[in-house]
Amino acid sequence: MKNSVSQKFAEIYGEGAILFASPGRINLIGEHTDYNGGFVFPGAVDKGIVAAIRLNGTDKVRAFALDLNESAEFGLNEEDKPAQSWACYIFGVCREIQKRGGVIGGFDTVFAGDVPLGAGMSSSAALESTFAFALNHLYNLGIEKFELARIGQSTEHNYCGVKCGIMDQFASVHGKAGHLMRLDCRSMEFTYFPFDPTKHGYRLMLVNSCVKHELVGSPYNDRRASCERVAAVLGQEFLRGATMDQLEAIKDQISEEDYLRARYVIGEEKRVLDVCEALERDDYETVGKRMYETHWGMSKDYEVSCEELDFLATVAQECGVTGSRIMGGGFGGCTINLVKEELYDNFVATVTERFKEKYGHEPKIYPVIISDGSRILA
């Protein structure tokens, strides 16, 4: 990918570009916790966006999306927003840097990506992080890494119409090979934890159901509202820090549905902390147990799973997979799986065959390697 991006840049714009890269991400555990002020536990992956960039001395950006074979040209003022949706990510990053006082000019760029689309690995965050990191470097802006992540998040909010949290951009910018990052979504403090499954005889992989269920109503907003109602009864801003004992004490003051939603979130906060402690002692079996607990909590209490994802988790358990759970918001997409090396091939073959037999199409398998965040490529 690096070579094809470089070659295309030379072909269109000439020599002198610098290559930058940012990764997609996985989240090992900590789902639906961000808006509850809790913890998430992402890591950067070995797939992402690569961009060749060279300043052009004008006030115009000329961009070429190699995967789409499309080009765009736009200025750097608010009224210059491009028509193409992919170009809005680059434009938005430029505008958000300017809003923060960064003085930038035009540039030429060619970019491509190998983040699997629809797998919940955040290709859009990788794109934003690449350009935020690159422009910060090329213009010596001195913007701190966490603010680069916020620039990506603000781009989604203000230019792409997506009200996302900070996790995807944070993981893309801050990623570190062989480590996951526990991000406190209340204080925004984070800690690296060692994660090297291969060294301990495990592999990490995604199984993509290639299913996305159309949602009736606004299930995400409904669940958020449930959590906020329970937090209010507890006298808290968020569910973060609440205990099961506290929840049981107010059970008769809240609906059954709100009780189940809160039970999942309170349990998930503890599971994230358990997994962090387990990794510090290289205890991958406990990590796997907590992953299954999260899956069935999301399925039964939070009710964001679907038949296909429950089937994938069940087949994983039957194949002796150490841990498996829904990754992402739910209602389709992927499971993330922690598999012993010696069981990997059998699990891939079994889950592919049984899923196709039941649903008429094969799932997609993506091995995951935890890698570095935004960087300049040599």
Checking if the pLDDT of 37 tops 90, the result is: yes
Query: Which entry of 59, 108, 114, 168 is annotated as an active-site residue?
Result: 168
Question: Is this prediction's pTM over 0.85?
Answer: yes
pLDDT at 219: 86
What is the gyration radius of the CA atoms in the chain, in angstroms?
21
pLDDT tens digits, one per residue of 286-301: 999 999 999 999 999 9
pLDDT at 215: 66
Q: At what angle do helices 123-138 and 85-99 cross, to 10 degrees?
A: 40
221 falls in which pLDDT band (50, 70, 90)? Answer: confident
Residues whose CB falls within 8 Å of the CB of residue 109, separated by 6 or more in sequence, listed in order = 9, 17, 51, 52, 53, 54, 61, 62, 63, 64, 90, 131
Where does the chain have alpha helices with state H?
2-13, 85-99, 123-138, 145-159, 167-174, 219-233, 244-249, 256-280, 284-300, 307-318, 341-359
Sign, CA dihedral 183-370-24-216, equals negative
Average pLDDT over residues 339-359: 98
CA 166 from centre of chain: 9
Please confirm, yes or no, whether 168 is among the known catalytic residues.
yes
Average pLDDT over residues 43-58: 97
214 in the same domain as 86 = no
Average pLDDT over residues 230-234: 98
44 in the same domain as 71 = yes
Please give the residue range of the domain that contains residue 335. Answer: 197-368
208 in the same domain as 116 = no
Checking if the pLDDT of 214 tops 80, the result is: no
Q: Considering the chain, what percentage of its residues have pLDDT values greater than 90? A: 91
Q: What is the mean pLDDT of the chain?
A: 96
209 in the same domain as 318 = yes
The tally of domains found in the chain comes to: 2
67 in the same domain as 162 = yes
Checking if the pLDDT of 201 tops 70, the result is: yes
pLDDT at 225: 93
266 in the same domain as 166 = no
Mean pLDDT lowest among 56-60, 221-225, 238-242: 221-225
361 in the same domain as 266 = yes
Q: Are strands 107-113 and 60-65 parallel, antiparallel or unpaired?
A: parallel
pLDDT at 90: 98
172 in the same domain as 110 = yes
294 in the same domain as 235 = yes
220 in the same domain as 183 = no
